[in-house]
């Protein structure tokens, strides 16, 4: 086989395919050029997801005719003069590839004017070839307008790999949001002639983030600001109670350049340590400022990855900055809340009295409300009381003597009422080896595990995992049989505002939500009215459920919508299942359902049951 040199046309189209991975990449490259031109006001417009039209307009220093013609040639740049300049970059662009690549695979118009020119220059290109040039007036003293039509029109094999217009639009919106948050520049963003964002340059970061992520409230903002001299880490992260089921809310920048780094994702969440619920991911906009000679940005075609000269130190500093900010800006508080009773019978029914001695009674309470740094969603009220000689209970207004003994009481509902179980009722449970065991419930441990026994074994059953799987099986069964999940109407419909991308996903997939039992009505200003929720299940946080469902579509793609119903039902089941500390009613019914569906794991693959042979227990106690 003979080796030959590719033609310039093929070389340019291959290069364009590496740099232009979607319409968002075109917007990214053009906006970065605008920032490099010292612009402080940038306008972005797209149509059809950017596939048919993209426009970026700025008020930067502009170009004359000679520079425009040079800018669309491959490997032409104003940012580099020698090799060493590559390791001291303070600009976004430097390789001179992007504008040339975009020009090669589109119809492009560039209008630009330098400050000392009376008229601007307009040049039209088709597939990299100049087809028209003229002088035109421009409203700004200086600046540039670039319009891109019909991306990949001359590379149909590449154009067919562009995503749907809605998916490309979301990707463009995401990259615009990165620029809005990371630079002190005014941005206007239009999609199909509709204004999406209009953000002024002097807006504070927390206000920008509240626009981008309206569900991330200001009480959940934690600022990060660490200065180690050679490196600075600053930005805004979320209180652990504000999370998503994926990492789409996490954004990282190095010298204001947006990057994707698996290592930073990892150390970012490592900074939260044990504060995060399993499977949940916090929000964050984190900016790393470091000397240009300590970082290499020339390691990725779209410049989305970087390498640090001392990667270990950088990662440790980022992790430490997160942890320090969380420790300094979260609080431990205990709120004492009184509870009133209508009569003595209510009191007697509420408390369990336990005789400790003839002269002393202990009342213990699990009706406690404690707030751990305001991050833990489960709140329980701490109550304390004294017993008077008249056998009635009174609450003390405050604790005067911290050395005095305080008597507590136990909330009866927190203890499982075993009278509700049939003492002689046995349940068949099948284990991973398909062996059936007749078992009976003997208790509840640590507010999360059912303790049961058979003749040969002791069983620990994870109530949440089992309940989650039972809900999953029932919902899936209904969905298979009826093609949908039943709905129940909400007496007072709830209106929720979502971020722009989530709103668009919901809007485009309203039928999907309806099939999942959630009836929605699309309103203006990114607001959604919730009219109904899934029937036959308790939905504790409909806002978070809808957000999680939208994110499933966002990550898996609209084209695979028919393939994500199982994941959606699993998400709904997890959110509806009982959690540690909830009332454990219906344990007997749960075992019946485990038997009915022959369940071994939860929908996510975690085991439901742990078995311990009595022979092993006997051996431990040396009874054999």
**What's the pLDDT band for 180 if we cut at 50, 70, 90?**
very high
Question: What is the value of pTM for the model shown?
Answer: 0.70
pLDDT average, residue stretch 562-571:
76
Give 372-427 as a DSSP string: ETTT-S----B--BEE-TTS-EE--SS-S-TTS--B---BGGGS--GGGS-TT--E
Q: What percent of the chain has pLDDT over 70?
A: 76
**What average pLDDT does this structure show over 146-168?**
91
Band (pLDDT 50/70/90 cuts) for residue 267 is very high
User: For residue 169, is pLDDT > 70?
Assistant: yes
Render pLDDT for 185-212 as a digit per residue (tens, 0 to 9).
Answer: 999 999 999 999 999 988 999 999 999 9
Strand pairing category for 231-238 and 284-290: antiparallel
Give pairs for 357-366: CB < 8 Å, separation 24+.
361/387, 361/407, 362/407, 362/408, 363/387, 363/407, 363/408, 363/409, 363/410, 364/408, 364/409, 364/410, 365/408, 365/409, 365/410, 365/411, 366/410, 366/411, 366/414
Do residues 240 and 284 touch, judged by C-beta distance below 8 A?
no
Q: What is the pairing mode between strands 281-282 and 243-244?
A: antiparallel
Q: Which of 390, 365, 392 is nearest to 380 (CA)?
A: 365
584-605 residue pLDDT tens: 566 777 777 887 777 788 877 7
The set of residues, in sequence order, having a beta carbon less than 8 Å from that of 439 and lying 6+ positions away, is 426, 427, 428, 429, 452, 453, 454, 457, 459, 591
Residue that wins the pLDDT comparison between 388 and 58: 58
Q: For residue 358, what pLDDT is reported?
A: 40
**Could you give the CA distance from residue 251 to residue 287 in angstroms, rounded to a whole number?**
9
Tens of pLDDT along 423-458? 445 555 555 544 455 778 888 887 788 888 888 888
Q: Quick one: pLDDT band at residue 623, thresholds 50, 70, 90? A: confident
Query: Would you state the structure tokens that stand for residue 491, as one six-digit string?
Result: 């007496």
In the beta sheet, which residues pair with residue 362? 354
Confidence grade of residue 340 (pLDDT, cut at 50, 70, 90)? low
Task: Supply the pLDDT for residue 185.
Answer: 94
pLDDT, position 68 = 94
Give one DSSP letter per residue of 98-163, joined into a string.
HHHHHHHTSEEEEEEE-TT-SSEEEEEEETTEEEEEEEE--SSSSEEEEEEESTTTT-HHHHTTS-
Residue 126: is it exposed, middle or buried by C-beta count within 10 angstroms (0-12/13-18/19+)? Answer: middle
How many Å apart are CA 155 and CA 130, to the nearest integer?
Answer: 19
C-beta of residue 60 within 8 angstroms of C-beta of residue 34: yes
Which pLDDT band, with edges at 50, 70 and 90, does 373 fall under?
very low
Summarised one tens digit per residue, pLDDT across range 342-371 is 555 554 544 444 444 444 433 333 333 333
pLDDT at 429: 53
Q: What's the average model confidence in pLDDT over 492-516? A: 90
Separation in Å, CA 202 to CA 23, 171, 271, 453, 617? 28, 25, 30, 66, 68
Most confident of 11-20, 397-406, 603-612, 613-622: 613-622
Residue 127's pLDDT band (cuts 50, 70, 90): very high
């Amino acid at each position: 086989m003979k080796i030959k040199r590719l033609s310039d046309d093929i070389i340019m189209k291959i290069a364009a395919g590496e740099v232009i991975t979607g319409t968002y990449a075109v917007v990214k490259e053009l906006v970065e050029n605008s920032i490099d031109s010292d612009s402080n006001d940038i306008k972005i417009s797209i149509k059809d997801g950017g596939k048919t039209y993209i426009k970026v307009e700025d008020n930067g220093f502009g170009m004359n005719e000679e520079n425009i013609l040079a800018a669309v040639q491959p490997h032409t740049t104003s940012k580099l003069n020698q090799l060493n300049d590559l390791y001291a970059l303070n600009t976004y662009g430097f390789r001179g590839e992007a504008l040339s690549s975009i020009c090669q695979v589109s119809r492009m118009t560039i209008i630009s004017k330098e400050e000392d020119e009376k008229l601007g220059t307009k040049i039209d290109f088709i597939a990299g070839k100049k087809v028209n040039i003229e002088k035109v007036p421009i409203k700004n003293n200086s600046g540039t307008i670039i319009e891109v039509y019909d991306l990949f029109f001359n590379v149909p094999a590449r154009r067919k790999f562009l995503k749907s217009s809605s998916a490309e639009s979301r990707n463009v919106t995401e990259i615009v949001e990165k620029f809005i948050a990371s630079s002190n520049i005014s941005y206007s963003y239009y999609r199909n002639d509709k204004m999406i964002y209009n953000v002024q340059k002097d807006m504070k970061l927390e206000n920008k983030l509240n626009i981008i992520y309206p569900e991330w409230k200001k009480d959940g903002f934690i600022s990060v600001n660490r200065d180690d001299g050679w490196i600075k880490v600053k930005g805004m992260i979320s209180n652990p109670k504000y999370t998503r089921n994926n990492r789409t809310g996490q954004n990282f920048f190095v010298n204001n350049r947006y990057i994707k780094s698996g290592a930073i994702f990892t150390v970012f969440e490592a900074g939260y340590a044990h504060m995060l619920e399993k499977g949940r991911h916090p929000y964050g906009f984190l900016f790393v400022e470091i000397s240009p000679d300590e970082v290499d940005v020339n390691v990725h075609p779209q410049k989305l990855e970087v390498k640090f000269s001392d990667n270990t130190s950088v990662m440790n500093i980022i992790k430490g900055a997160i942890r320090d900010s969380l420790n300094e800006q979260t609080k431990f508080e205990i709120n004492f809340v009184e509870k009133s009773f209508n009569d003595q019978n209510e009191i007697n029914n509420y408390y369990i009295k336990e005789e400790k001695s003839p002269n002393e009674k202990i009342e213990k309470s699990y009706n406690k409300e404690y707030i751990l740094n305001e991050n833990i969603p489960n709140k329980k009220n701490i109550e304390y009381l004294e017993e008077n000689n008249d056998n009635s209970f009174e609450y003390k207004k405050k604790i005067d003597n911290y050395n005095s003994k305080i008597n507590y009481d136990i909330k009866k509902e927190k203890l499982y009422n075993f009278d509700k179980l049939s003492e002689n009722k046995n349940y068949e449970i099948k284990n991973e080896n398909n062996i059936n065991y007749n078992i009976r419930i003997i208790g509840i441990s640590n507010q999360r595990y059912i303790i049961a026994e058979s003749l040969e074994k002791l069983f620990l059953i994870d109530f949440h995992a089992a309940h989650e799987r039972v809900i999953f099986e029932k919902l899936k069964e209904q969905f298979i049989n009826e093609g949908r999940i039943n709905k129940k109407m909400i007496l007072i419909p709830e209106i929720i505002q979502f971020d722009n991308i989530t709103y668009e996903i919901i809007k485009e997939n309203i039928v999907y939500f309806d099939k999942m039992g959630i009836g929605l009505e699309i309103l203006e200003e990114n607001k959604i009215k919730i009219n109904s929720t899934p029937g036959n299940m308790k939905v504790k946080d409909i806002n978070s459920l809808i957000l999680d469902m939208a994110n499933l579509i966002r990550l898996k793609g609209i084209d695979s919508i028919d393939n994500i119903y199982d994941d959606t039902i699993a998400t709904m089941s997890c959110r509806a299942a009982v959690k540690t500390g909830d009332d454990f009613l219906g344990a007997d019914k749960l075992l019946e359902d485990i038997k009915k569906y022959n369940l071994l794991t939860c929908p996510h693959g975690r085991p439901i049951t742990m078995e311990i042979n009595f022979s092993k227990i006997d051996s431990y106690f040396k009874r054999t």
